[in-house]
């Protein structure tokens, strides 16, 4: 059992870690600065926790389904609306904050904008600081401004550093070669397979297509190498 706790290797180079770290720092700095200019530093700093978590996704794992533009914008909007509604009806208590986080999760799943930091945002908005509580429903303003500015930073920085973002879906189903001539895998097949597993996987069918193509290339090179080495 304890062997399963061993962390999996991160399949990225230290150069990519540095690229993501610099982008994360700049993105958070820009988002908090812009939010502070409009709503004041206390309100902006109150959002820095969820923003930091979102920045990890947007800059370090930008290809994941949880890091796409609709995920952060829709997730923050869901969390904001649910948290402020719960706070208005039930008050600002620990219990209502936890309820708001759970309700936000359900709404995000329904709207297909699951974004884990939005759960932290729901807790943060219910248990807010005095400056944020004074805004009441206007608190959606700094929330969405912070989310939009962080997203803009990720769009600019990732693409300038040659990381394609956002991850677009394929318009035409790609047929993937297989070992059998009578069997071909398409993007639609991958979507159906993910749906049948009935669990959430932070991977898109396009990522799976790319992974399968890369695996096939390695398999072909290995096969060719074995054939050449077996020759006298």
Mean pLDDT of 150-165: 95
231 Cβ contact list (under 8 Å, min separation 6): none
Place of tokens 């729901």: 122
Q: Is the pLDDT of residue 14 over 90?
A: no
| Tens digit of each residue's pLDDT (9 = 90 or more) over 172-204 | 444 444 444 445 666 677 667 766 765 555 566
Q: Is the pLDDT of residue 155 over 80?
A: yes
| Tens digit of each residue's pLDDT (9 = 90 or more) over 86-106 | 999 999 999 999 999 999 999
| More confident call, 73 vs 231 | 73
pLDDT number for residue 170: 47
Q: How far from 209 is each of 10, 59, 187, CA to CA, in Å?
A: 20, 22, 7
| Tens digit of each residue's pLDDT (9 = 90 or more) over 41-99 | 999 999 999 999 999 999 999 988 899 999 999 999 999 999 999 999 999 999 999 99
Mean pLDDT of the chain: 84
pTM here is 0.76
Q: What is the CA radius of gyration of the chain?
A: 22
pLDDT number for residue 12: 72
Q: Is the pLDDT of residue 31 over 50?
A: yes
* Annotated domain spans of the chain: 13-160, 170-232
pLDDT number for residue 120: 96
pLDDT number for residue 172: 40
């Amino acid at each position: 059992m304890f062997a399963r706790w061993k962390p999996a290797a991160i399949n990225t180079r230290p150069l990519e870690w540095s690229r993501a770290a610099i982008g994360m720092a700049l993105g958070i700095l820009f988002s908090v600065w812009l939010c502070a200019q409009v709503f004041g530093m206390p309100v902006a700093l109150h959002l820095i926790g969820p923003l930091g978590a979102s920045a990890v996704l947007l800059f370090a794992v930008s290809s994941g389904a949880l890091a796409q533009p609709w995920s952060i914008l829709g997730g923050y909007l869901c969390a904001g609306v649910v948290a402020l509604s719960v706070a208005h009806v039930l008050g600002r208590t620990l219990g209502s904050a936890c309820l708001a986080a759970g309700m936000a999760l359900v709404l995000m799943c329904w709207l297909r904008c699951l974004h884990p930091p939005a759960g932290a945002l729901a807790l943060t908005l219910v248990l807010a600081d005095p400056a944020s509580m004074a805004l009441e429903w206007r608190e959606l303003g700094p929330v969405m401004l912070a989310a939009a500015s962080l997203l803009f930073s990720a769009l600019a920085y990732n693409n300038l550093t040659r990381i394609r973002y956002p991850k677009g879906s394929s318009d035409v189903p790609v047929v993937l070669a297989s070992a059998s001539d009578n069997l071909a895998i398409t993007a639609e097949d991958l979507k159906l397979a993910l749906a049948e597993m009935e669990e959430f996987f932070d991977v898109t069918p396009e990522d799976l297509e790319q992974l399968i193509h890369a695996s096939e290339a390695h398999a072909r090179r290995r096969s060719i190498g074995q054939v050449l080495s077996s020759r006298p």
